[in-house]
Structure 1
Amino acid sequence: MVNVVYLAGVAVGATVGGLAADYIGRKWVSFIACLVHGVGGLGAALSPNYGAYVAFRFFVGSCHGILNNSVVVLSMEFVSPRRRMVSVCTLAMSWGIGMVLTTPVSYLIRDWRYLQLTVALPPFLYLGFWRLIPESPRWLLSRGRYAEAEDIVRWAARVNKRAIPEVGQLFDEHSLKMTPSLSPLKILHAPRLMARTAVIICGWITVAISWYGLTLNQGSLDGDIFINAFVLSVIDLIAYASLFIVNKLGRRKAYCVAMMISALSMLATIPVHFLADRESPSTSAVFTALYTMGKLGVSSNFCLLFMWNGEFYPTALRNFGLGLGCTFGRVAAIVSPIVMDQFGEHPVLGNTVPLILFGCMALFCALSGLYLPETAHKHLPETLEDAQNFGVKRRKSGINQNYDENTPSTFEMAS
């Protein structure tokens, strides 16, 4: 019950937070969510009854969904394409390190109230970085706040020792034509962006239901639950770290390869179940290895989707686009405990039914992902027209000639 409510909160936060960040700003939404996250965690630790605990966990989950999207988008919008993956991977690795540390902390602190109190304190530390973290200059430009964006860009240029144009030449004509506000319904007028949205949503659903299903089901593996949890957390961390090579492979190739590895690993449990001696320790080791490889592919794509999803949306809808994909993913995550409970044990297929389902979904995503545009080393689209034509070869007509995904904007030159 608590897990379902928490994941429902994450889904709500991903949608509401995405819209709020596009209208209020990435920075403000991130810090407000961080404050509420900490307060909600303290409330959960001090809850007088089960109902209050569940309610506080919903608020914590909502803030989790908001922070996931707004912080990732903020980090993407402030750096150049060659540093975008490094920025997002660093954030993902901080999540992975937190997952790894959670296992020994939970082993040492067995009282749930003290454990909840311990994990509720770190969000308050983030509030101390208010003055160090600037607002996204891309978002400021999209809202017509050019002077503030210029101040941030010039500050970044000074810190990074980069040369940028003099006053009056800072923003090019295209950046000044960015739409200050854009309704999410405008996506309906961009059929290519809608199709890409549908494909990326399939990826979110597959990754989320597989990741949470495999994580929540790790107790079914042979061996000590703490050791298994620690090993799988380390696997997640390795998966996030491996994405540093994505800048060389490209987003699309890395996504499809990881999905294929995950699909083949999970589907390979079928012959192991039917052909191997189920009582043999070696069979258990092979099953655990395939289980781990399946989670490795899913985990790497979890990180990749956070960045890739936002890269082909216009600035005014980037947080909404990412939030939309996350929302579908979190809804799928809510279903994952039900899938594991209902199909975890089958009279013929044993505990491989969820893995077969996840494997088939990953196989579909590995093939459908070939339709998505390659965004590595490309500059983010600013307008809806840019997003609609992103990754499309230019022709003499029908394509916006003022936008070039290979030409850096001024604030990227300062990073």
Structure 2
Amino acid sequence: MIRFGDILKVIGEFGRFQKWLVLLICIPNFLTPFHMFGQVFIVMDVPHYCNTSWIYNISQNLTKEQELNLTIPMKPDGSPEECIMFTPVEEDIESIIKYGINSTVECQDGWVYPTEPKPSLLTEFNLVCGRKDLNDISQSIYMSGLLVGALVFGPLSDWIGSQRSILLTLLIMGSFGVGAGFAPNFYVYIALRFLVGASFAGISISMAALSSEWVGASYRPLALIITHCSNALGQMALAGLAYSIHDWRYFQIAGSAPVFALFFYIWVLPNSARWLVTKGKIEEAKKVLRRAASINKRAVSEELLSQLAPEEKVKSGNILDLFKKPHLRRLTLIMAWVWFADSLVYYGVSLHVGDFGLDIYMTQLVFGAVEIPTRASCIFLLQWMGRKKCQAAWLILGGVVCLLIPAIPKDFPVIVTVLAVIGKAALAASFSTTYVFSAEVFPTVVRQTSLGLCSMSARVGGILAPLVGLLEKHHPAIPMGLYGGTALLGGILCFFLPETRNKDLEDNTAKSSASQR
């Protein structure tokens, strides 16, 4: 019996077939930023004040200026208060004009948006004042969908294969993404977004598995980072889409419908030959391997293929094994925190793209553009600096920048935005590093279990990221302080991890030289 890795070396570890596969995986990665970050463009804050049309029941001959002066308190700058109005009364208009109204109440009949010509999610569902927190809560519910999707589609992908799982999750993402554009109320919109989040997690898991099972071990970081760069390009395209389409329903449909163009994946997306072998589908695996060899212009002998057989399964570890031995417990807790910090800070900064003082569309464009060189640099830095130092450096840089942002006065939006861009770029590079580092630092028998646990930690960070933003109402510096402190602690903890550069992967849980600090 021959190992699958030996056959992969014969047909090519990163030939035309694998490059074509990476390109196919890049396309969904290019489309997914819309679902992750698109909502920030349709819930941008706009001027608003209480609907006070009640006064027209008393007098219909008032100008708009008179209506506002009589029914809404004014701020020191002369603009109307956004969330309170004078208490409606039944007196005659002359008495109101002469004596005014002394008591105030919260808005009772909705709000008026004088400068918003096209409906946004905020204006249509009134996500202002007491309902403003629903925006961040809905983003957390979307992130909860990612956690549920990881729990559902991870095992499903193992059962039906990465190819079918990708096709299924793309269908779900497109269908419910477009459906959200027709949502009759905000709660239906949230439910549909939750399902989109679940499908996003399924796509991520299946695409990562499919690429890693076809690409040689030495090329996996390259393939991973290329797909991450395509995600950055999608973030740049998102800025252009949001700038072009201001009606939130058309924006939602335009960002979701392109997924249906990937129906051709049914014919061109290969299944994992490695997965087919593990399922005993040897003839199907041989057929896919012959196709890969042909595209790579390599020859693979039938004698070699005839030796394919399901490998004898090694007993896998379980989640308890990660906490029984001190060195594994240390690895697990530190890497779980690193994943948590990556997700919390990356999404926390990304979802507040409109809060840094400059044009939101330009900021989003720069946010995406700067990720490409920083993620690409990981290909070289991981080999030059090593995994541990690289991981620590990105987290510490991101943490320090987040801590500096609250210290910069709002009168300097350019400086604040530059710092935010640096912080997001650092966390993006940290995310790419984490995927590579985590796959190397855990032993083979518990690798999938440990990565699943770390991924769940990241999902928790994603869920909390929008909720941390709600703390801004207590003090503007709290969210960035928490983001910065979390990343900084993660960077410091990285120095207690082993270095895995140019070292063989560990197969068992026994402590060895590779597990030493």
TM-score, length of structure 1 as denominator length: 0.79
Cross-structure match for 2:379: 244
Name the CA shift for 1:47/1:285 in 2 (closer, same or farther; >3 Å): closer
Contact 2:351 2:466 (C-alpha < 8 Å) held by counterparts: yes
Name the CA shift for 1:168/1:292 in 2 (closer, same or farther; >3 Å): closer
Letter in 2 for 1:331: V
Matched, 1:386 2:507: yes
Letter in 2 for 1:328: S
Q: Alignment RMSD, CA only? A: 3.3
Distance of 2:328 and 2:344 partners within structure 1: 24
Identify which range, 110-119 or 159-168, moves more after superposition. 159-168
User: Percent sequence identity over matched residues?
Assistant: 27
Cross-structure match for 1:366: 491
Distance of 2:290 and 2:501 partners within structure 1: 26
Matched, 1:59 2:188: no
Cross-structure match for 1:176: 311
Distance of 1:22 and 1:314 partners within structure 2: 20
Name the CA shift for 1:377/1:117 in 2 (closer, same or farther; >3 Å): farther
**Displacement of 1:71:** 0.6
Name the CA shift for 1:218/1:263 in 2 (closer, same or farther; >3 Å): same
Contact 1:22 1:320 (C-alpha < 8 Å) held by counterparts: no
Distance of 1:89 and 1:136 partners within structure 2: 20
Matched, 1:357 2:479: no
Cross-structure match for 1:299: 428
Cross-structure match for 2:332: 197
Q: From 130, 135, 141, give the equivalent of 1:5.
A: 141
**Displacement of 1:15:** 2.2
**Displacement of 1:318:** 6.1
Name the CA shift for 1:171/1:373 in 2 (closer, same or farther; >3 Å): farther
**Displacement of 1:138:** 3.3
Distance of 1:377 and 1:23 partners within structure 2: 33
Name the CA shift for 1:304/1:126 in 2 (closer, same or farther; >3 Å): farther
Matched, 1:330 2:459: yes
Contact 2:225 2:375 (C-alpha < 8 Å) held by counterparts: yes
Q: From 343, 359, 363, give the equivalent of 1:208.
A: 343
**Displacement of 1:154:** 3.7
Aligned residue pair count: 377
**Displacement of 1:125:** 2.5
Contact 1:373 1:390 (C-alpha < 8 Å) held by counterparts: no
Contact 2:293 2:299 (C-alpha < 8 Å) held by counterparts: yes
Letter in 1 for 2:341: T
Distance of 1:164 and 1:290 partners within structure 2: 53
**Displacement of 1:279:** 6.4
Identify which range, 352-361 or 60-69, moves more after superposition. 352-361
Cross-structure match for 1:35: 171
Find the residue that maps to 1:177 and give its secondary structure: coil
Distance of 2:316 and 2:278 partners within structure 1: 9
Letter in 1 for 2:337: C
Structure number with greater Rg is 2
**Tell me, which stretches of 5 or more residues in structure 1 are unaligned?**
395-415
Contact 2:167 2:265 (C-alpha < 8 Å) held by counterparts: no
Cross-structure match for 1:24: 160
Higher normalized contact order (CA 8 Å, seq sep 6+, divided by chain length)? 1
Contact 2:140 2:467 (C-alpha < 8 Å) held by counterparts: no
Letter in 2 for 1:78: W
Distance of 2:298 and 2:473 partners within structure 1: 56
Identify which range, 45-54 or 26-35, moves more after superposition. 45-54
Name the CA shift for 1:51/1:341 in 2 (closer, same or farther; >3 Å): closer
C-alpha deviations, 1:175-222, integer Å up to 9, x for none? 72234x858557558745554333221111101111111112222211
**Displacement of 1:291:** 2.4
Distance of 1:372 and 1:141 partners within structure 2: 35
Distance of 2:205 and 2:393 partners within structure 1: 24
Q: From 90, 93, 106, give the equivalent of 2:226.
A: 90
Name the CA shift for 1:390/1:227 in 2 (closer, same or farther; >3 Å): farther
Distance of 1:389 and 1:133 partners within structure 2: 39
Name the CA shift for 1:145/1:172 in 2 (closer, same or farther; >3 Å): closer
